[in-house]
Amino acid sequence: MMTRATRHLVLPLVPTIVFLAIAAMPVQALGCRTRGWLAFGVALACGLAAIASALIALRGRLRGDRVSFWWIGTAAVLAIPVIAMLRLA
């Protein structure tokens, strides 16, 4: 059984770590274009998932759900690759 912290904070860290691994990979390993497209794809997927998580959090907040803050944490963790992509670009 997964706890809320695992589901909302640890699992969203996986694509973030994948993005950072792609960004830190030497150009000779994959090539510049391939590495860029992979990083862009991961950042795009994380960005879309972060928007979805933020919308779920907002909907829960409007309904008075007490655990909607977990979705805010999920959105924040998923936004890391998007911010890193904008910063690195």
- Residue 46 to residues 14, 34, 82, Cα–Cα distance (Å): 10, 18, 7
pLDDT reported for residue 2: 81
Cβ contact 33:9 at 8 Å:
no
What is d(CA 64, CA 82) in angstroms, rounded to the nearest whole number? 29
pLDDT tens for residues 13-71? 999 999 999 999 998 998 999 999 999 999 999 999 999 999 999 999 999 988 889 99
pLDDT at 5 over 90: no
